[in-house]
Amino acid sequence: MLALALTSALLLHAPPDERIQHRVEVSVTSPQVRRGRPGRVERPFRATQILDLAIGAQFPRRLSGDHVMEFKVYTPNGHLYQTLTVPFTGEWRRRSGTQRWVHGYPRPLQEEQMRELRDEGERSAGQDSPTTRYEVEARLPVAGTWIMTNSLYGRWRVDAHLDGAATIAGSAHFALEP
């Protein structure tokens, strides 16, 4: 009982984990389907009409340094289907072809750069506007995968985790139908 009280007291006074302070908006789209506002489920994706899904995490500001985004994709039954890992950098410099070792992977992964998303009406050079966001994206194959061969149709969920944090930075739902 005393050990439980001490553990609780330590957790309450522990410094906040900087990794979980970033909240992201998660969107699910497909290059093969024209959709409305990202992140909203307007209608299900038809698995027979798409090749893959683009899963993106939008940040309200550019992050500095190197990071890793994990998109954990769950089936309609709540089982983990796949984890998509994207090492990325928030630095302004272009590092094309850079690969980075990520814990748990047998070979280096391609590093991405945060992509700037800006409304067409905003074009101020070098300054973030209230409508500027930054995105990191991964692709989830659909055509010819277990999704279709095992009829894994229904409402799916994707959770985004930044830098290995256990806390979810953002989440979205999407629907797949035959």
Domain with residues 22-121+128-177, CATH architecture: Sandwich (2.60)
First to last CA, the chain: 54
Helix (H, G, I), strand (E, B), or coil: what is residue 48?
helix
Q: Are strands 170-177 and 154-162 parallel, antiparallel or unpaired?
A: antiparallel
Helix (H, G, I), strand (E, B), or coil: what is residue 79?
coil
Q: Give DSSP secondary structure letters for 100-164.
A: E--TT-SS-EEPEEPEEE--TT---TTS--TT-EEEEEEEEE-TTSHHHHTT--EEEEEEEEETT
Would you give the DSSP letter of residue 72?
A: E
Would you give the DSSP letter of residue 66?
A: E
State the DSSP H helix or E strand holding residue 170, giving kind and residue range, or none if neither.
Answer: strand 170-177
Task: Indicate if the pLDDT at residue 161 is higher than 90.
Answer: yes
Rounded mean pLDDT, 84-109: 85
Predicted TM-score (pTM) of the model is 0.78
Q: Of 2-11, 57-66, 156-165, give the lowest mean pLDDT range.
A: 2-11
State the DSSP H helix or E strand holding residue 61, giving kind and residue range, or none if neither.
Answer: none
* pLDDT for the residue 52: 96
Cβ density class 145-159: b for 16+ within 10 Å, e for less: eebeeeebbeebbbb
Q: Are 171 and 160 in contact (CB under 8 A)?
A: yes
How do residues 117-151 score in pLDDT, each as one tens digit?
876 554 445 555 566 899 999 999 999 999 999 99
